[in-house]
Amino acid sequence: MNRPEIILAPGPTPIPPEVFLAQGSPLVYHRGPGFGDLMRDVAGRLKVLYRTERADVLLMTSSGTGGLESAIQNLFSPGDEVFVPLAGFFADRWKRLAEAHGLVVRSIEYEWGRRIVPDEVAAALAEHPVKAVLLTQSETSTGVIQPVEELARVANEAGAMVVVDAVSSLGAVPFEFDAWGIDVAVGGSQKALSASPGIAFVAITERAWAAHETATLPRFYFDWSTYRRFAELKDPENPWTPAISVMQGLQAALELYFQDGLDAALLRHRTLSRAVKQGIEALGLDLFGEGLEDNWTVTAIRAPEGLDADTISDRIRADFGCILAPGQGPLKGTVFRIGHFGYFSELDIIRGLAALEMTLERLGYPVKRGSAVAAAEGVFQETA
Ligand SMILES: *Cc1c(COP(=O)(O)O)cnc(C)c1O
């Protein structure tokens, strides 16, 4: 099936019809009042989502990784030292990005699936101070939500800036930019907000702007000063031609997201996560990763003994058009993942679990039909 009916992957996430309609409508010309209103509205809503009053939020046409790259290019000079606690694929992306730009990366390496231990980071920073700590809130490869609040505290105590990849967590789990003392946080359009891929957003504090003033790494397309200058026009603009359609869709997506308020959106993510996890456990499969109660974005699941995890994700896609995510790195073949952040309904989860039950049965795993679905229904009924 080339057009999957059910996406249960951690980005891009299912796009609601309102968003498709908005991005399928005529373009708002990107210089002038129409686009200015659009940018003001989107940036304003994102500030609420970040829980910040003190940060500037810049919008860039790129995938999430472009937003991360912009942080490296705008904050640092060659040879600057940063600390990256490693516990999965996306923490490793920070390391590779920093090294590609000539930074010196110090780290503690954790086994994938572990939570980073703030005291251990504090000890490492006390022994060897760095300019910044680069964190990943939702380690999408393992499903683990890292303790960013505590990690930001120890980084601040050590005098380091705090830069957070919140691409797969912003809007799905609690995040407090101002209260936690974050300096820079990057998000993306195609994750919890359920818009199309193509826009990255970056929140930036005064301390980060000060670092930007003296940073000497080469930058052009992603130069934050240029974005700020255009964002401060009477009718805000992007310096370059932005992904206008995606921006129109993102505005509609934010409208839907805020429909019932931020707290309701977070609670929805918690409920969907619990339903998936209880459904999986009802099938007798083992969940992977620490801190399951907090891991509302992605559920990582160990394939049963004797079954390759990739066979499960391949087969469910071939038979039902249902997209799950395979294991990455050392988890390839032993773990598969269900993404459940974004504009999912209860029935999306039920359909996915039903497809998984049938797939596992076809692959010879003993399934009590309906058991995962029943467990998920139990969670939904309790919280209704
Ligand atoms: C999806 C994701 C990104 C960004 O990936 P892009 O493909 O560049 O949008 C970055 N960090 C995390 C944790 C992610 O889940």
User: Which among 376, 362, 288, 349 is positioned nearest to 7, based on CA atoms?
Assistant: 349
pLDDT for the residue 117: 98
Query: Domains of the chain (ranges plus CATH)?
Result: 17-257 (3.40.640.10), 261-383 (3.90.1150.10)
Do 127 and 174 touch, CB atoms closer than 8 A? Answer: no
Asked if residue 239 lies in contact with residue 226, where contact means CB atoms within 8 angstroms, the answer is yes
Give distance in angstroms: CA of 381 to centre of ligand 1: 33
Write down the residue that tokens 């301390």 correspond to: 207
- Rounded to the nearest angstrom, the gap between the alpha carbon of residue 256 and the centroid of all alpha carbons in its chain is 18
For residue 4, whether the previous peptide bond is cis, meaning omega lies within 30 degrees of 0, is no
Atom of ligand 1 nearest to the CA of 66: 8
Question: What confidence tens digit (pLDDT) does each residue in 243-275 have?
Answer: 999 999 999 999 999 999 999 999 999 999 999
Nearest C-alpha to atom 6 of ligand 1 is from which residue?
64
Best residue among 7, 62, 165, 170 to mutate for probing ligand 1's pocket (most ligand atoms within 8 Å of CB) is 165
Tokens representing 29? 């010309």
Q: Which atom of ligand 1 is nearest to the CA of 136?
A: 13
pLDDT in tens, 25-47: 999 999 999 999 999 999 999 99
* CB-based contact 50:167 (threshold 8 Å): no
DSSP state of 182: -
pTM of the predicted model, to two decimals? Answer: 0.97
- Going from the Cα of 261 to the center of ligand 1, the distance in angstroms, rounded, reads 25
Of 218, 224, 216, 222, nearest in space to 77 by CA: 216
The residues lining ligand 1, judged by C-beta closer than 6 Å to any ligand atom, are 10-11, 63-65, 90, 136, 138, 140, 165, 167-168, 188
- Taking the centre of ligand 1 as the mean of its atom positions, its distance from the CA of residue 292, in whole angstroms, is 21
Q: What average pLDDT does the structure give for the chain?
A: 97
Give the three-state DSSP class for 2.
Answer: coil
Q: In this predicted structure, what is the pLDDT of residue 293?
A: 97
Residue 241 has pLDDT above 80, yes or no: yes
